Amino acid sequence: MKSDAAVKPTLLALCGYQGAGKTTLARWLRDRHGFVCTSFADGIRAAMRTWGVENADFVGERKTSPCAALCGATPRQVMERLGDFGRSVDPQFWTRLWSANLPASDLIVVDDVRYEYEATIAAQAANERAACFACVVIDAPGRPQGTTHESNRVPRVGSYRHALVVNDGSVHDLGFQVEHKLREWGFL
């Protein structure tokens, strides 16, 4: 159900450890407000689909389960290694790919901001579109924080408009916290 509220062009960056609820929140924003979901890892997923990995393999428990299309490796393991490879070619490899493929929409949510430079790239993209920009950091107390890979981090976003939300209830509880912040900031 999409709201009928007038909205300002917005690019929202979601940050948090693996399993914090970033993609779940992005989908909630898509369904409720019409945000277009995007990820810095979209290029990685596209490459993996050419090997027979299905969209369902990128979410939930399947993301951390051995995958036959990946010779028994988990999708998360391969995504982390492909991310490393791209950054070894060019530190901005994935952010440049993301920028080049950013959808033409007034409402965009990027669900995997893990590095400070990714927040900067997202803020620049918002500025180029004359869109509002903010980061939402999701804390999920009591949940495992995922792997020890360097990409499993929460970047410092203090120089940008930001909010910390706690994911300790339902998807709607989390979404309504963010919706409240978006209204408080004048984005909705």
Helix residue spans in the chain (DSSP H): 22-33, 42-49, 75-89, 93-100, 116-128, 171-184
Residue 2 corresponds to which amino acid? K
Residue 185 has pLDDT above 90, yes or no: yes
More confident residue, 170 or 147: 170
Query: What are the pLDDT digits (tens) for 60-90?
Result: 788 889 999 999 999 999 999 999 999 999 9
* pTM, full prediction: 0.89
Assign a CATH topology to domain 10-184.
Rossmann fold (3.40.50)
What is 129-181 written as a DSSP string? TT-EEEEEEEE-TTS------TTS-----TTS-EEEEE--S-HHHHHHHHHHH
Q: What confidence tier does 6 reach under pLDDT thresholds 50, 70, 90?
A: low
Q: Which residue ranges make up each domain of the chain?
A: 10-184
